Amino acid sequence: MISSLLALMTILVLGIPTAVIFIPLAALTGDIMPLYRVSNAIARIALRMAGIRVEVAGRELVPASTACIFMANHVSNLDPPALIPRIPGRTSSFLKRSLMKLPALGYAMKLAEFIPVERRGSASNAQKSVAAAKLLLAKGIHITTFVEGTRSPDGRLLPFKKGPFFLAMDSGAPCIPVSIWGTETMMAKGSPRIKPGTAHVVFHAPIDPAGFATREELSEAVRAAIASGLPEWMRG
């Protein structure tokens, strides 16, 4: 419980002045990067204060100056703060539409061009989300997606959603599979309690969508890459 309190206090103590200073600055100047960098720094500090160390492997495999689609498995609410600050450059992400309604934070994510999605949305809404992501990729902004669509309740890989692979095939952007493990024991699904430990983030070699005839084949290739970086029991 102490780890949870330390993380929360760090976010409050650093997050409130950040919101007061950098959100208006981003709104006035149209430059999101100062807010983006400070927010990532707060995420790093909060994890460190909670006793969580993040070990990263394979980041050198991410192509420079190329907008990519980062496709990760999802086992804990700690996954985004463990992953996103370690992605080179700037990334947007798909997230639940309800999060966009949160005071200050929701507006900040809107300024950062995060893409809201409905968990059980219609096909037309899904197409709009994919189109928005494609425009961001064209601007040179990465897209990060947790391809299972929800957190795994036991750490094992779930079936993948189709949307990220429609986006990949349509945009042609390189797919970067990412394996995350360790966080499943530090903050389990349905629990607000954080435990100290080591989170592992493994970036894999880019996968070119042009090399696949169908999105199903691309999905299988991404799944195999993600599974290769996980402990055997998590591979599904």
Place 188 in a pLDDT band, splitting at 50, 70 and 90: confident
Residue 169 near residue 215, CB atoms below 8 Å: yes
CA distance 76 to 153: 9
Tell me if 28 is assigned to some domain: no
Tell me if 189 is assigned to some domain: yes
- pLDDT at res. 190: 77
pLDDT digits (tens, 9 = 90+) for 19-61: 999 999 999 999 999 999 999 999 999 999 999 999 999 999 9
CATH of the domain at 60: 3.40.1130.10
The sheet carrying 115-117 orders its strands as 52-57, 197-203, 175-181, 69-72, 142-146, 91-96, 115-117
| Domain that residue 79 falls in | 53-234
Tell me if 42 is assigned to some domain: no
Measured in degrees and rounded to the nearest 5, phi and psi for residue 205 equal -60, 145
Tell me if 6 is assigned to some domain: no
Tell me if 127 is assigned to some domain: yes
pLDDT digits (tens, 9 = 90+) for 118-167: 766 667 777 888 899 999 999 999 999 999 989 999 999 999 999 999 99
- pLDDT at res. 11: 92
What's the total number of domains in the chain? 1
Tell me if 122 is assigned to some domain: yes
